[in-house]
């Protein structure tokens, strides 16, 4: 795993959540492609991943301005 290069606790937390959400999303996407889960489950995982991505963007913007 790649470590964030900043010491900010908020950024570090957002980074860890983003990485975890990405891993789960990839696993769910694989299950969806194999038709082992339904569309609602896939869309929920995708929504969580996109929210984590948005939070990471916010954390990066906050780091840039501090």
**What CATH number should be reported for the domain holding residue 51?**
1.10.287
32 by Cβ neighbours in 10 Å (0-12 / 13-18 / 19+) ranks as middle
Task: Using pLDDT thresholds of 50, 70 and 90, give the confidence band for residue 63.
Answer: confident
Q: What is the DSSP string of 23-34?
A: HHHHHHHHHHHT
C-alpha to C-alpha distance for 36 and 7, rounded to whole angstroms: 40
| 1 within some domain | no
| 34 within some domain | yes
| 2 within some domain | no
Domain count for the chain, please give it.
1
Query: Domain containing 30: what range?
Result: 9-65
| 33 within some domain | yes
Are residues 45 and 25 in contact, defined by beta-carbon separation less than 8 angstroms? yes
| 20 within some domain | yes
| 4 within some domain | no
pLDDT tens profile 1-51? 455 455 588 888 999 999 999 999 999 999 999 999 999 999 999 999 999
Helix-strand-coil percent breakdown of the chain, rounded to 5? 80, 0, 20
């Amino acid at each position: 795993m790649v470590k964030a290069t900043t010491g900010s606790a908020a950024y570090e937390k957002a980074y860890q959540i983003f990485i975890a959400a990405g891993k789960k999303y990839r696993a769910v996407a694989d299950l969806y492609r194999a038709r082992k889960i339904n569309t609602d489950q896939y869309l929920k995982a995708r929504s969580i991943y996109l929210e984590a991505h948005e939070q990471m963007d916010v954390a990066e913007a906050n780091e840039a301005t501090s």
